[in-house]
């Protein structure tokens, strides 16, 4: 009896072993068919309402304390309208000094190019005529001294004195004539070039001073709404301030920016239809994807949901919509993008049958 039970047990173990070997061999010969999970046709992503154009972060090009704030947050402004102004007195004094230096340089060049005034020429000619009269008188005195010396009436010393006096007067009249020629002569080319260069330098300095003075007024470069004013009365601001003095954006036209997780980044295409759910409201807005960023980047917006991936990169997507009533800039929204209308690429499994590419593996995304 015991022997029969032992034999039965051994035969059962042997049968199980043979069955396991057969199943293993069959599994090795059968082709592996990858399992494909149903592909979602809707991509959900958080987003926010933004101005259709980029927000303009305005800073002063020069530094100084704010002395005037001409607008308030939320105000609509037109292009060229004054927003803020800093103390302009130091820049005004510098501009006035530059203008004075320019006037001096221009006067010097004008005097050089126009030559001497008629009064200066008349004065120089009168001096020359007086010197000529003295020379004629000295020549006559020298002739008499020569005659008296020849007759023994005058000494040689007297003659020499008269002769030296004539030579001095002749030198003086030569100098007077040279002065007249100098006053009548045109300026040298080199002198004219130097004078012109001095005027050009003074003009450039004055233009820079004028530009710096103009930069004490911060004006709106385009029509838009004042979103934020960081420049306060009395505070020092300038080009290197931590925050821009004013931020404006064109709030007449809105767009939505969504942040799609990297797992779905490759599936988003321009032209896809979407629905926008406004945070805190029941309504939905029909939208269309207008463009997508060419690369993924760090996540900059979080929803706070329990299942959110905080370590995921995102791809930015911009959507346009028509109904923008009662919307405000920065409002949180939830975007649902419909990918059903876009044909996704296929890959061939080892069995030869086409299957959809797994999410996130279609195309290449720059990182």
**For residue 351, pLDDT beyond 50:** no
pLDDT of residue 118: 74
**For residue 122, pLDDT beyond 60:** yes
Range of the domain at 110: 97-210
More confident residue, 339 or 38: 339
Residue 17 within a domain:
no
Question: Between the ranges 12-21, 38-47, 87-96, where is the mean pLDDT highest?
Answer: 87-96
**For residue 218, pLDDT beyond 90:** yes
Last residue of a domain, one of 224, 248, 272: 248
Same domain, residue pair 142 and 171? yes
Same domain, residue pair 83 and 229? yes
Written as six digits, the tokens of 121 are 């020429």
Under the banding of pLDDT at 50, 70 and 90, the label for residue 216 is: very high
pLDDT of residue 317: 93
Question: The domain spanning residue 282 has which CATH number?
Answer: 2.40.30.170
Same domain, residue pair 256 and 311? yes
Same domain, residue pair 189 and 176? yes
pLDDT of residue 355: 37
pLDDT of residue 23: 66
Residue 222 within a domain:
yes
Same domain, residue pair 165 and 114? yes
**For residue 346, pLDDT beyond 80:** no
Residue 27 within a domain:
no
**For residue 292, pLDDT beyond 90:** yes
Same domain, residue pair 127 and 272? no
Give the residue-averaged pLDDT of 77-97.
Answer: 95
Residue 63 within a domain:
yes
Question: What's the total number of domains in the chain?
Answer: 3
Same domain, residue pair 234 and 316? no
**For residue 328, pLDDT beyond 50:** yes
Question: The domain spanning residue 225 has which CATH number?
Answer: 2.40.50.100
Same domain, residue pair 69 and 165? no
Same domain, residue pair 82 and 115? no
Same domain, residue pair 293 and 344? yes
Residue 21 within a domain:
no
- At 130-168, the pLDDT tens digits run 888 888 888 888 888 787 778 777 788 887 888 888 888
Residue 34 within a domain:
no
pLDDT of residue 26: 63
Under the banding of pLDDT at 50, 70 and 90, the label for residue 228 is: very high
Same domain, residue pair 63 and 73? yes
Last residue of a domain, one of 185, 210, 235: 210
Under the banding of pLDDT at 50, 70 and 90, the label for residue 303 is: low
Residue 298 within a domain:
yes
Same domain, residue pair 139 and 230? no
Residue 8 within a domain:
no
Report the predicted TM-score, pTM, of the whole model to 2 decimal places: 0.56
pLDDT of residue 362: 34
pLDDT of residue 55: 84
């Amino acid at each position: 009896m015991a022997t029969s039970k032992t034999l039965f047990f051994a035969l059962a173990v042997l049968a199980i072993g043979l069955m396991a070997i057969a199943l293993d061999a069959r599994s090795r010969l059968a082709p592996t068919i990858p399992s494909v999970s149903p592909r979602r046709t809707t991509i959900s992503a958080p987003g926010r309402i933004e101005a259709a154009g980029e927000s303009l972060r305005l800073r002063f090009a020069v530094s100084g304390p704010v002395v005037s704030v001409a607008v308030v947050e939320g105000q609509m402004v037109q292009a060229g309208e004054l927003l803020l102004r800093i103390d302009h007195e130091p820049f005004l004094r510098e501009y006035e000094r530059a203008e004075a230096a320019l006037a001096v340089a221009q006067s010097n060049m004008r005097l050089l190019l126009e030559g001497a005034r008629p009064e200066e020429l008349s004065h120089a000619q009168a001096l020359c005529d007086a010197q000529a009269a003295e020379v004629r008188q000295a020549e006559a005195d020298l002739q008499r001294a020569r005659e008296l010396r020849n007759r023994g009436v005058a000494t040689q010393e007297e003659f020499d004195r008269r002769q030296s006096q004539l030579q001095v007067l002749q030198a003086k009249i030569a100098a007077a004539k040279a002065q007249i020629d100098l006053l009548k002569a045109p300026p040298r080319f080199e002198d004219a070039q130097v004078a012109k260069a001095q005027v050009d330098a003074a003009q450039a300095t004055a233009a820079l001073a004028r530009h710096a003075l103009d930069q004490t007024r911060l004006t709106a470069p385009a029509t838009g709404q004042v979103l934020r004013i960081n420049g306060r009365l009395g505070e020092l601001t300038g080009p290197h301030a931590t925050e821009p003095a004013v931020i404006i954006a064109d709030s007449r036209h809105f767009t939505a920016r969504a942040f799609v997780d990297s797992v779905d980044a490759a599936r988003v295409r321009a032209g896809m239809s979407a629905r926008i759910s406004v945070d805190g409201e029941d309504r939905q807005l029909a939208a269309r994807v207008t463009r997508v960023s060419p690369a993924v980047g760090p996540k900059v917006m979080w929803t706070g949901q329990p299942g959110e991936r905080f370590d995921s990169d995102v791809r930015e997507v911009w959507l346009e919509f028509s109904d923008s009533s009662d919307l405000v800039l920065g409002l949180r929204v939830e975007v649902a993008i419909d990918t059903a209308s876009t044909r996704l690429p296929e890959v061939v499994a080892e069995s030869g049958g086409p299957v959809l590419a797994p999410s996130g593996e279609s195309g290449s995304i720059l990182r």
